[in-house]
Structure 1
Amino acid sequence: MRDLSDRTTLVVGASRGLGRGIARAFAQAGAPVVAVARTGTALAELAAAGARIQTAVADATDAATAGSLLDRHEPSIVVLVAGAGPLMRPLQHQTWETFSVNWHTDVRIAFHWLREALLRPLRPGATVVVVSSGAALAGSPLSGGYAGAKATQHLITGYARDEADRAGLGITFTAVLPRLTPLTGLGRPAVRAYAARGGQSEDDYLRQLGEPLTPEIAGSALVDLARADPATVAPGYLLTGAGLRDLPR
């Protein structure tokens, strides 16, 4: 269990949902936290709740943002949670613009930040966690290109891991795939849509998912992951209300 007091943790997408829970958990564990998001008001509320949290209002999809913030803060841990909420409609009711929104946000964010982490590079011993989605494994027929975008995030995290190993950089890259949860702004409309599609009540649909994943559980799980021996960190994990579970290789 490694001490986090000198491991600056940069959380991209920290203003809401799982990202907010992750930022708070790292601060509570003693890490200096840089919370990044586009919404200054939400970030200010987060910072007011923890003395170890400083904020950066920025657009994570901008190609210059990753390099600028990595240079400024020199983090030991980077967690990428930011992304767009998909339009919940079946394929035939999507347009190309709505279908592709997560490719232009979620995948773009992962690409820019993974690229900069390798190019800079981050210091040996650094950890980069890309928070993808369980939809990358199971699909998501009501959310356009969301599942494919999340699968691509998972894939390119693996590519970055391989490149870091080939270059001997000593940087750990891993992907975390959270299960659908009703406790975030992203998950609530998805639960409603899939329950209606299946002719179920939301309660019945949720019972199928098991214990709900909360922002607090997500935060605790990622703190444990950051504290682990890098040699034991797997390329990818499924994250549920019961915590992290290794993905099959």
Structure 2
Amino acid sequence: MKDLTDRTALVVGASRGLGRGIAQAFAAAGAPVVAVARNETALAQLAATDPRLRTEVADATDAAMAGRFFDQYEPSIVVLVAGASPLMRPLHHQTWETFSANWHTDVQIAFHWLRESLLRPLSPGALVVVVSSGAALAGSPLSGGYAGAKATQRLISGYARDEADRAGLGITFTTVLPRLTPLTALGAPAVRAYAARGGQTEEAYLRQLGEPLTPERAGTALVDLARTDPAGISPGYLLTSAGLKELPQ
């Protein structure tokens, strides 16, 4: 088990849901953690849970933020979880603005932070994890452009991995695709919408999904990934309550 006490983890989108669980898990594992989000109140509540957690209130879509925080904190672990909550409506009830929301947030965040990881670059041995969504594989007909945006996050993470390898930077990039869970502010409305679409109760729909992924389990999985030898880290993983499963390359 690799010691994380000297590896600063910067978690973008740490104020709620899986991001909060991931930030808390890294702090519990002994890593200094920088938790980044826009919600100052939620970040203050998070910081109160562990002295190893420090917070930064920022908009991750701001192109200058990645460079600023990389210079200030020199992280060796970067986890990108931030994104917009999609409007849960079928295609013909979307507008272009609602349909494209995740392209202007999730994809833009991944682009800025992956780009800066390569430009700076981060130190050899650094790990950058883009938390995408299982919707990137299965689609999501009630969430506009969400599935496509999450698939694009996976693609550009792969591009960054290739560029790092070509330049011999020693930086590992990977994508984690969590399965839909009702235990987050993002997942709960999706569960309601898909249950209603299928004429099911939420309870019946959830039984189909199996044991839900918790923020705590997500945090444990990401900590385990950070402790893995970089040579053994796959370009992509599906994340369920059972943990990480490598995706076919």
Q: TM-score range by the shorter chain?
A: over 0.9
TM-score with structure 1 setting the length = 1.00
- The answer on 1:95 being equivalent to 2:95 is yes
1:66 matched to 2:75? The reply is: no
Cα root mean square deviation, aligned: 0.4
- 1:181 corresponds to: 181
Does structure 1 residue 247 correspond to structure 2 residue 247? yes
- Runs of 4+, deviation exceeding 6 Å: none
Residue number in structure 2 paired with 1:33: 33
**Corresponding residue of 2:23:** 23
Aligned residue identity for 1:89: R
SS at match of 1:49: coil
> Could you say which residue in structure 2 is the equivalent of 1:115?
115
User: Letter of the aligned partner of 1:159 in structure 2?
Assistant: Y
Instruction: Measure, in 2, the Cα distance between the counterparts of 1:64 and 1:143.
Output: 29
CA distance in structure 2 between the aligned counterparts of 1:71 and 1:187, rounded to whole angstroms = 34
State the Cα distance separating 1:136 from its structure 2 match. Answer: 0.1
Paired residues, what number?
Answer: 249
- In the other structure, the counterpart of 2:196 is 196
Q: CA deviation at 1:210?
A: 1.1
Structure 1 letter corresponding to 2:227: R
Name stretches of at least 5 consecutive residues in structure 2 with no aligned partner.
none
Alignment of 1:217-228 (within 5 A): 217-228=217-228
Residue 93 of structure 2 corresponds to residue 85 of structure 1: no
Q: How much does 1:2 deviate?
A: 1.0
| 2:178 equivalent to 1:152 | no
Aligned partner of residue 106 in structure 2, secondary structure: helix
Once the 2 structures are TM-superposed, how far is the Cα of residue 27 of structure 1 from its aligned partner? 0.1
Superposed, 1:52-63 pairs within 5 Å as 52-63=52-63
SS in 2 for 1:75: coil
Give, as a single letter, the amino acid of the residue that structure 2 aligns with 1:166.
R
In structure 1, list runs of 5 or more residues that go unmatched: none
- Given the two structures, how large is their TM-score scaled by the length of structure 2? 1.00
